[in-house]
Amino acid sequence: MIALISALLIASPATPDLCLVSKSARAIVSPKLGRLIYFGPLDGPNLLWQDRSAPEAPWRNWGGDKLWTAPQSDWNWPPVLEHDGQPHHASINENTIHLLSDPDARGVRFVREFCLNGRELTIVNRMENFGHDPVRAAIWQITQIPAPAEIRFAYEPSPLFPAGWEAYPWTIQGATQISRKAAEVVISPDFFTAQKYGTATQAGYLRAKIGNYWLRLTHPYQPRATYADQGKAQQVFLSNSPRYAELEVTAPLETIPSRGHQSMTTTLSFEKAR
């Protein structure tokens, strides 16, 4: 969705962590790190991976849940520091946390709203273009999690993905097992090397078994839209060093006019494994 920016979000810089609590869950946002750093049951564990001891570098892999712009080829590496690496402005209003990044060199900034209801965290992501020129890009949400026993997504074979999924060209699958169980594709990861897999399903979810819990990330998939990475709207990344995984979803690639924005609403939820 593309729309004109109606007003500048008013938010103040903040460094303390901000917390949302329901009867069954907790979500913590760090303005200093510019991301969601905790999501899980009240008594733990944290279902997000984080590493506050990341080595000194211009960019640090702090973990948690964050936003980039897709495709990666537009900025290569490391990630844009205004989006992933610098403190964000933040405010909290009743049961909603607002997070605002600074604009990058193109004038692109992110606005996020987090609202917790029971075991479900709704995240409204907005990418705003304050630059003079149009920008062709998409919102890319990355949820980093502790090394899971399994990752699953809907089995929906298509002309684009006949097997229901596709490995990235640089991936060496090794001992990682990919199978089908009922109507799902099941990835049983081996973390001997970095790997990445992608798919595009109308079900629009990725879920991972972390200890005694299933964590689920869901986004709205648009089958007629154009997505980055040859149509891979949902992606799974496995990191071998350090060991963790990423559940990743993207919005469609769109041309965002000056003073325009793109929105994508996602949900994170969890349940006890049976």
Full 3-state SS string of the chain: CEEECCCCCCCEECCCCEEEECCCEEEEEECCCCEEEEEEECCCCCCCCECCCCCCCCCCCCECEEEEEECHHHCCCCCCCCCCCCCCEEEEECCEEEEECCCCCCCEEEEEEEEEECCEEEEEEEEEECCCCCEEEEEEEEEEEECCCEEEEECCCCCCCCCCCEECCCCCCCCCEEEEECCEEEEECCCCCCEEEEECCCCCEEEEEECCEEEEEECCCCCCCCCHHHHCCEEEEEEECCEEEEEEEECCCEEECCCEEEEEEEEEEEEECC
Query: Whole-prediction pTM value?
Result: 0.94
**Domain-wise residue ranges, the chain:** 2-272
**pLDDT, tens only, 123-158:** 999 999 999 999 999 999 999 999 999 999 999 999
Mean pLDDT score, 200-208? 98
Residues 58-115: tens digit of each pLDDT:
789 999 999 999 999 999 999 999 999 899 999 998 889 999 999 999 999 999 999 9
Query: If one looks up domain 2-272 in CATH, what number appears?
Result: 2.70.98.10
